[in-house]
Structure 1
């Protein structure tokens, strides 16, 4: 399993550099950072580097980490979607986003939240 951990770390570093340059180009142009999915995949890669040792054994603990991480992420995402609905309200909301950008943001946040929750519960259990 040491090779998986190293592969995830190397992939995470490559994706981090890629995400930085892509998002920097969008932000410096004053546009919505469309490379935000690369940031969430970077987070996923680093989380999987940490979780690879925990998930190597197919035991109850690994299953509980997966179940709890996804279960709690559901409630986090409900909260995030409620906040986004208040911010992106077309009548009084301070933020104007297209549907594509909103879905990109929700998908990126979901990926990040699920894997960060799994890391939290791996440390807790």
Structure 2
């Protein structure tokens, strides 16, 4: 298991550098940061590095962490989607995004929220 943890940490550091460089290029050009998925993959890698010890044993605790993390993430995503619907309203919303950018934002938020919830429940249980 130590190898998996090290591999996830190395992947997380590489993706963090990649996310910083890609998003910095978009932001410095004044565009929407299309490298949001690299940020969510970075979060996922670091979370998996933490969770490998918890998921190594195929017991009820690991199953409960997975189930609870995904279940609570559903409600978080409902809240995030409602907020995005209010912000991106074409008639009165202050933010104007294309459908691609909105889907990219939702997908990257979902990946991040699921794994961060799993880390939270791994520490709680």
TM-score (normalised: structure 1): 1.00
* CA distance in structure 1 between the aligned counterparts of 2:85 and 2:98, rounded to whole angstroms: 13
5+ unaligned residues in a row in structure 2: which ranges? none
Q: In 2, Cα distance between the equivalents of 1:34 and 1:46?
A: 21
**Residue 98 of structure 2 corresponds to residue 98 of structure 1:** yes
1:56 shift after superposition: 0.3
Count residues with an aligned counterpart. 125
Q: Once superposed, what is the RMSD of the aligned Cα atoms?
A: 0.2
User: By how many angstroms is 1:13 displaced?
Assistant: 0.1
The equivalent of 1:51 in structure 2 is 51
Output the CA distance in 2 between the equivalents of 1:117 and 1:86: 24
TM-score, normalised with respect to structure 2: 1.00
* Runs of 4+ off more than 4 Å: none
| Aligned residue number for residue 107 of structure 2 | 107
The yes-or-no answer on 1:68 pairing with 2:68 is yes
1:56, 1:23 → 2: CA distance?
34
Residue 35 of structure 1 pairs with residue 35 of structure 2: yes
